[in-house]
Amino acid sequence: MLAVGTKAPEFTLPDQNGHPVSLADFRGKKVVLYFYPKDNTPGCTRQACAFAQAHSEFETLGVSVIGISKDSSASHLKFASKYSLPFVLLSDPDLTAIQAYDVWKEKKLYGKITMGVVRSTYVIDENGIIEAAMEKVKPDTNAQEILEHLKR
């Protein structure tokens, strides 16, 4: 994980509609940047839906939510449409942001070691500085934990 207080790495990635989105586009606004392994999997779906259910609270606080995985824009579009996700999903098949944010790690599943995205969330302040960093977050509680942090 990147350290709290450091500058968040810049990136430009395509969203679910194929349009380029940069972190710099959100300067002056807080951003919740959450990294997840794969569209339409049980944990990732629960996490995305929890962020969707809390979306109005994030908007009230003036905070943008962005989800990033290595899935394609087309996969993101289907995922966002199927679950009515009201926030931006970014496609990072080349692992540009995923590696820059240090969430591409060794994972062990049933004794087999593979590389993959560790479910992680960053809160980035209005000036592009990391305000909070949470690794190995739980899909069901992540959105509420972030809201609690933002309300402090």
Task: Indicate which residues carry an active-site annotation.
Answer: 44
SS3 for the chain, per residue?
CCCCCCECCCCEEEECCCCEEEHHHHCCCEEEEEECCCCCCHHHHHHHHHHHHCHHHHHHCCEEEEEEECCCHHHHHHHHHHCCCCCEEEECCCCHHHHHCCCEEEEEECCEEEEEECCEEEEECCCCEEEEEEECCCCCCHHHHHHHHHHC
Cα-only R_g, the chain? 14
